[in-house]
Structure 1
Amino acid sequence: MWWFQQGLCILPVALVLWTAATFIFAYITAVLLKHVDPLVPYISDTGTVAPERCVFGIMLDISAYLGIATMYVRYKQVQALTVEEESKLHKLNLLGLVLGWISSFGMCIVANFQKTTLFSMHLVGAILTFGVGALYILVQTLVSLCMQPHVHGKSIFWVRLSIGVWTFASIISMFVSSVIMYSSLPGVDVAHKLHWIPGETGYIPHIISTISEWSLALSFVSFFLTYIRDFQVPKLSSSLHSLHHLDQTEYMFKSDYLSHAPNTHLTVKCLLTSP
């Protein structure tokens, strides 16, 4: 069995690969058709003009659905590995699921409302995708902190924390540079401006903004890569009813998660069921 066939790690793997393929396909197509400049255009600009916007929309919708499934499995996994007395962790886990699904919904808005067609809705979708998505990363990082060292190792927490810092730094950089860019171009319809000339007014803030957006997207992709090892444990049931039908899986973790005996280990059978 290949590593990506173990448990449910195919979900984050598919999410990462499919999303990356979406961005790459849209970028290559838009550049070849001269719809955008080759030097780091906005991701949205690469999916604005037909025909690439049609495929971009469909592929990004699929990414959103994969994100919903991945976040749900993560929610069920944390729920199964958490004792009932950990009410705060359960609430934090549920908050993460809600934020993640809102972010995925925002991705659907971005995919289907192009910035040159309905900029206000596209902007709302971008805020939901990146803004709420950043909060999802923050919540999941806190969940990892609460679950260490009983379930998660310290290393995965620090990795997720680093990605979270990367995410928020990219958001701040993109926001500040975008404000400067729009301020330096009064009266210009920046939403419909797909080509930029080096040296023109607002060019430097534009480049900083686009680099920040690509950096932000890469940070999101990198975060879901951290789920792969966790997802190698639970196995999808043969039942096709829904994702919450999961086989019984043994999780090994220290018994001091439930008691105060740090020198022994406890094998707990966790059945991931619907709430």
Structure 2
Amino acid sequence: ERIAPLGTKRTANTNVSSFSTFSIAGNFPPASCIFSEVMNLSAFFGFIIVVLRYLQLKPRLDKAWLNVGSLAAFSAGCFGMTLVGNFQLFNDEMIHNLGTFMTFGLGTLFCWLQSYITLRVNIRNEGRTAGIVRFLLSGTITLCMILYFSLMPQGLHVQATQCQWALVMFFLFFIGTFAIEFRHSRFSAVCTDDSGTPVNLALSEVSRYQPDEM
């Protein structure tokens, strides 16, 4: 039998070699089990981050629809991550591709919205620096996504796969930039007994004269 080229994987039920795209890398067990767990945890922590970001921006942003739209976009994107992780490409391609579109499409929209919001809010006069970094990352993410969908139909699978993996990495870098603003805020959850008082999530500004904390 002819050996498949480096970067490809031959499946048991088909004679077509499949390149190691993000989805195919987590398609077969035991990698699929780890892939599902990682995607589910990423979706959970991503949702927590976007909720905290929403609470941080709520008293500062005059256009509430930007904040709500950003929250809704990334929340749907997080749900898309669970679809990508739990519905493998070769088992349920339609649902898997739907999750991919939600994750990358709505995730990219979230990046552009947050880049604009960062400049508009300008927390502690750091918005310009953080905003420029996020605009550059958003542009790179968009470019990687365009290149991926342009290269795949041309049969340039290796180059397309490289763009897809780069896209994921730049997404992670973008999420990591929220540490810039989060270090200025302190989030605390308050839970009471059965007296009827609802659970409250409080947000307060960290003092300039106190050490940064979450």
Aligned: 1:133 with 2:107: yes
Q: Distance in 2 between matches of 1:161 and 1:77?
A: 20
Q: Distance in 2 between matches of 1:249 and 1:149?
A: 11
Q: How many corresponding residue pairs?
A: 189
Q: Distance in 1 between matches of 2:199 and 2:76?
A: 19
Q: 1:92 aligns with which of 66, 73, 93?
A: 66
Aligned: 1:231 with 2:205: no
Aligned: 1:249 with 2:205: yes
- Structure 2: gaps (5+ residues): 1-5, 12-18, 193-197, 209-214
Aligned with 2:58: secondary structure? Answer: helix
Report what 2:195 is aligned to: none
Match runs of 1:70-219 below 5 Å:
70-82=49-61, 86=62, 88=63, 90-148=64-122, 151-181=125-155, 205-219=156-170
Q: Distance in 2 between matches of 1:70 and 1:57?
A: 20
Per-residue displacement from partner, 1:191-235 (whole Å, max 9, x unpaired)? xxxxxxxxxxxxxx1011100101110110010111012112222
Report what 1:50 is aligned to: 29
Q: Percent of aligned positions with the same letter in both sequences? A: 24
Larger proportion of strand = 2
Q: Distance in 2 between matches of 1:116 and 1:91?
A: 38
Normalising by structure 2, we get a TM-score of 0.80
Q: CA deviation at 1:142?
A: 1.0
Q: Distance in 1 between matches of 2:188 and 2:121?
A: 26
CA RMSD, Structure 1 to Structure 2 (Å): 2.5
Paired residues of 1:35 and 1:46 also in contact (CA < 8 A):
no
Change (3 A) 1:166 1:146: same
Change (3 A) 1:45 1:153: same
Q: Write the letter of the residue equivalent to 1:147.
A: V
Change (3 A) 1:247 1:58: same
